[in-house]
Amino acid sequence: MVRKATLQDIDAIKKIADKYIKEIGFVLKPALEESCKKGTLLVYECENIVVGFCNYHHRRDGINVIYEICVSDNFRHKGIAKELINNIPKPIRLKCPVDNESNNFYKHIGAKLVEIVPGKKRDLNVYEIGDIYAIGLFS
């Protein structure tokens, strides 16, 4: 089940994030706590255990930007990441390193590759989910 994270979930989220530092980067505990307080940190809970999370930011222009999304190994390929994304208001934008296997997942769920931008260490694919034009930013 997907729900908003509570401060009691932070240690479990951090444990998942730390296991996947190479894939998602280092996630700071204070940043997770701040997102939790803002209501932009979601968890997927299975039998009272947090098995996945998604940290996002709601921008003033109406676009939601995913910072991190991660699911524990034993629970991957069960639709959990897709369910987390489905619980974020659209439109959504996210970046993913071009050589990260998550690109296949984003394409699979229908995310649209809109551009490739330079990153600090490697190029990043920029994906959009939902119609960004529908919120009136572009014409």
Query: Scanning the structure block, which residue is given the tokens 């505990």?
Result: 29
* Count of positions (residues) in the chain: 139
Mean pLDDT of 101-119: 95
CA distance 37 to 100: 30
pLDDT at 132 over 90: no
Task: Look at residue 72 and tell me whether its pLDDT is greater than 80.
Answer: yes
Cα first-last separation, the chain: 37
Ranges of beta strands (E only) in 5-40 are: none
Cis peptide before 89 (omega within 30 of 0): no
